[in-house]
Structure 1
């Protein structure tokens, strides 16, 4: 299997064996400069099959990238482009070695497939240390990649591999439970859809049923073709794992969620304001909570993968890695910690900052008034608004802005809620509207029509960890269900994911309180993904019937406002934002 060749101004080793201590052998492709010497390494490790061309496995992504961002593919033959990992033709000429490893049980690597498990993370640690002692390696290892390849950077960095020198996680989740699988305790079906399409289909042993790597002529999923029932026994049942493990304290989630405070390596965390329900919260939490003394946060826009491949996006990462892997004095260490692309209805502006949340934030509380369905600066007289608990709910409208204003930072809401049943799911959507009444929708990571931000909470999961909670970011324990007494009023503190928006004069904010996922109600046909039309939430839907039975979650939900029930939303207003 292992073979070496020289092509396209690189030495390429295919299927290099990396033995694990339990006897399992992982396989890696190594792309390195032709010239003699020792070079720093950029590594990725994951289940998407290192030999699967983006053009084949992710053709719609490839078409959009090449159409809308031609610079992203202009400096390469693109023969070695694989989904969400570095293109070696854009890194090897600059004196880097690129290594792609198929994780255990995926692609060309043998073993039992169990995504993001402790075993998989230990394998990654072993691969880093293996690469550090090879004859062509400088001993300095950096990690980069998108999504899955970002998530496991935080996991392995928390284990402190001795030769890991820098990481650049691009749009990932850091807390499997809170960021992706169970928003506010409510099961999201995203990974249940993702697993069979992007992982099971290229499991090691799929052989002839999997695509061919055009660069080698070999199957991307191993030389043998095993029966589907055999492969089923060699992988974890992810649906069962996520449906049956309902609390954040379950071992399934604890094993897969790193202690961010244990990360000490230099980090450039790159997040997307449009990564709602998957790739946004994690990049910010990791930046804030990591133990690294050398860390930066860059927040951008556009599609999930775009700024990883664009000329400017690569240049940013190269400066970071040149500094920490090559010891170049290129000024990176003097860069402000935050590099923000701030959203406007008509585009973006760039600004650097020094802390998160911004120190000059004017934390502004807007109170809900159920009588007028408005948001105001004062708590009004007592009132209440009821809606069917599995409906699109009610919307509270803020006043038109008298002058341009900015909201950048974490958001939270305090709602007083009663239910006609023993439980209720609350879906919050922070929205913006223009003077013409048309909603401002942004191109998100995977949905082209995102609102400003989302928040979620299952009422029975309202218990807070007071030591970890902050006024602008409540922290729910998610270790038990505290059911409701029908008709009684309960205080719910709800995290709304961080956001950034600059609204011109005449625009207004709104908060929708609902019992189901947001729907922008734009005319069809709508863009779709995996056969699912996207209504503003992409494919991050909370639509698993067994998790939300109608007899429990299908009653009436009532929002209480004013008087002893001052329901409100806390907004991070940035004064003098244009200075």
Structure 2
């Protein structure tokens, strides 16, 4: 990450030493908890960010848990329009949640400070620059924002009530920026716990396989811009004092000048250039102890694999993005981790298995523990495609040459296995190698790995942001097919995304799909696998024949996961041609699966 580390952090250090804690102390309504509201903390350029500080009433020095986000440190999940559905889901799953806390201070994707203060921690929740009560330009994940975070950490480490050790905790946005700030190694940072956060700003956020992800337009317009500092029209209510918590009103013109729309920025940067490199951490600089929590659907193991931390742990879970974070099991895990690294507790954490994964089955999931990721003994297994029969199998003998075509914006092709003759597990990274051609000079490929039950129905799973997802989703814009061998692995090819290379219409090209997430499934006897290849977003419509994860009502059309590609850069004249997949002989196309040997 290209930031001016030494000068900025030296300045932050001096600020941290010199600046007192000036706050409006509010009656927290929680016995034993002091609440300092809207504390101004000066950044290296002189601008004050605002933070809420929750700390034990009993005097002493305590470790600090910190997070910094754009969603409003004073915005109640129960009342904000963008979060009401999430709150309803959370309370439905954990009806006793608000019996163990007043729930007054729970914020979107943030820890409940009451549960931590009672355990001898201080919690600091800051509004990022340009959001909520913090003025300035709102520019998500920018170097300026990361430098601010480092300054906040240094400041917290030097306060009289601080033990000098700071840990970072939060999900999504508040996990992504943990990776970023950890590269700066600010004084006081002792451990991080990024819960379901992306690592690679190009491949996991801006572009999937070189295809622009416009799903962020909804996030930006519905969750971030309403909380922009100076937005007098915000529907969000300050849950502490009432009214608005977005500072002095600004004109619409100034508001627009004070924010950097990420999707507009992505459009200006179609390749993995300095814009993304400034926002994607250098894993070799991440050495702090870390517990990474990933999800089988959307947001991956990339941060764990890239980090150079000697003390790092990985958990990969199934389920939605929000509710598991607030479970009693999760809270106990988080506390054991931070008690060990922030309090020095001899609680056996160092003996915790380095890797824990929830292995999925059609009817649930069970935890498995291992020493490494990918799991030891994983065996890559090729399932070869046959265009003549629309089938796939692990046969070693190459099939006869065949080709099959489909409209670029249609439903594509599906290759289906025979019913499995015995229970079989695949857990780990997946990839797809295809030989393709198009009638145009470019094509987009969307791949979905699916599980089919004996009745021919899709078996879906609860995903990060979608209650019905397949086993895996892959993407590639064929003009981005170049591969960097030095960064590729046996399981996945690394695409540098540095330039566009047009296709010659009618010519076959070998391409390797990008799958951001690994997968996990134990396939029962009689079930089948399917691979769907098409030129548009994959999703389940209202009339899909599925065994779905819950009673979620499907819309007429629906894309799976956090990715959505419909956009002007998907011109039908270019991406709506006739596409072809070739199989067999010298054009072997296959699905690569991570086979886990039977332990019987």
User: Do they superpose with TM above 0.5?
Assistant: yes
* Equivalent runs, 1:380-399 vs 2, <5 Å: 380-399=399-418
Cα distance in structure 1, aligned partners of 2:443 and 2:233: 48
Q: Which residue of 1 aligns with 2:471?
A: 452
Q: Is the 8 A contact 1:449 1:536 kept in 2?
A: no
Q: Is the 8 A contact 1:267 1:296 kept in 2?
A: yes
* Equivalent runs, 1:20-419 vs 2, <5 Å: 20-57=43-80, 58-207=83-232, 209-222=234-247, 224-248=248-272, 250-275=273-298, 279=299, 281=300, 284-376=301-393, 377-378=395-396, 379-419=398-438
Instruction: Report the CA distance shift for 1:33/1:132 in structure 2 as closer, same or farther (over 3 A).
Output: same
C-alpha displacement of 1:263? 0.5
Instruction: Report the CA distance shift for 1:227/1:36 in structure 2 as closer, same or farther (over 3 A).
Output: same
Cα distance in structure 2, aligned partners of 1:87 and 1:291: 30
Cα distance in structure 2, aligned partners of 1:455 and 1:103: 33
Matched length: 567
Cα distance in structure 2, aligned partners of 1:534 and 1:335: 43
The DSSP-based 3-state class of the residue aligned with 1:86 is coil
Please give the per-residue CA displacement for 1:385-444, whole angstroms capped at 9, x wherever unaligned.
100011120000112111111110001111100111100101110000111111110011
C-alpha displacement of 1:287? 1.1
The DSSP-based 3-state class of the residue aligned with 1:486 is coil
Q: Is the 8 A contact 1:268 1:296 kept in 2?
A: yes
Matched, 1:477 2:496: yes
Q: Which residue of 2 aligns with 1:498?
A: 518
Please give the per-residue CA displacement for 1:286-329, whole angstroms capped at 9, x wherever unaligned.
11121000001111122111111111111111100000000001
Instruction: Report the CA distance shift for 1:508/1:445 in structure 2 as closer, same or farther (over 3 A).
Output: same
Q: CA RMSD in A?
A: 1.7
* Counterpart selection for 1:569 from 591, 595, 598: 591
Q: Which residue of 1 aligns with 2:39?
A: 16
* Counterpart selection for 1:4 from 20, 25, 34: 25
Q: Is the 8 A contact 2:285 2:307 kept in 1?
A: yes
Cα distance in structure 2, aligned partners of 1:178 and 1:413: 17
The DSSP-based 3-state class of the residue aligned with 2:520 is strand
Matched, 1:486 2:505: yes
- Structure 1: which 4+ aligned runs deviate by more than 6 Å? none
The DSSP-based 3-state class of the residue aligned with 1:55 is coil
Q: Which residue of 1 aligns with 2:486?
A: 467
Cα distance in structure 1, aligned partners of 2:325 and 2:557: 23
The DSSP-based 3-state class of the residue aligned with 1:230 is helix
Q: Is the 8 A contact 1:342 1:501 kept in 2?
A: yes
Instruction: Report the CA distance shift for 1:89/1:214 in structure 2 as closer, same or farther (over 3 A).
Output: same
Which range is displaced more, 234-243 or 374-383?
Answer: 234-243
Instruction: Report the CA distance shift for 1:534/1:162 in structure 2 as closer, same or farther (over 3 A).
Output: farther
TM-score computed with the length of structure 1 as normaliser: 0.95
TM-score computed with the length of structure 2 as normaliser: 0.92
The DSSP-based 3-state class of the residue aligned with 1:256 is coil
Q: Which residue of 2 aligns with 1:558?
A: 580
Cα distance in structure 2, aligned partners of 1:522 and 1:342: 28
Q: Is the 8 A contact 2:386 2:399 kept in 1?
A: yes
Q: Which residue of 1 aligns with 2:16?
A: none
Cα distance in structure 1, aligned partners of 2:308 and 2:201: 20
Instruction: Report the CA distance shift for 1:315/1:413 in structure 2 as closer, same or farther (over 3 A).
Output: same
* Counterpart selection for 2:531 from 490, 511, 519: 511
Cα distance in structure 2, aligned partners of 1:209 and 1:85: 21
Mind listing any 5+ residue stretches in structure 1 that lack a counterpart? none
Q: Is the 8 A contact 1:167 1:268 kept in 2?
A: yes
Cα distance in structure 2, aligned partners of 1:387 and 1:73: 53
Q: Is the 8 A contact 2:51 2:125 kept in 1?
A: yes
Q: Is the 8 A contact 2:220 2:261 kept in 1?
A: no
The DSSP-based 3-state class of the residue aligned with 1:54 is coil
The DSSP-based 3-state class of the residue aligned with 1:350 is strand
Mind listing any 5+ residue stretches in structure 2 that lack a counterpart? 1-21, 545-550
C-alpha displacement of 1:215? 2.0
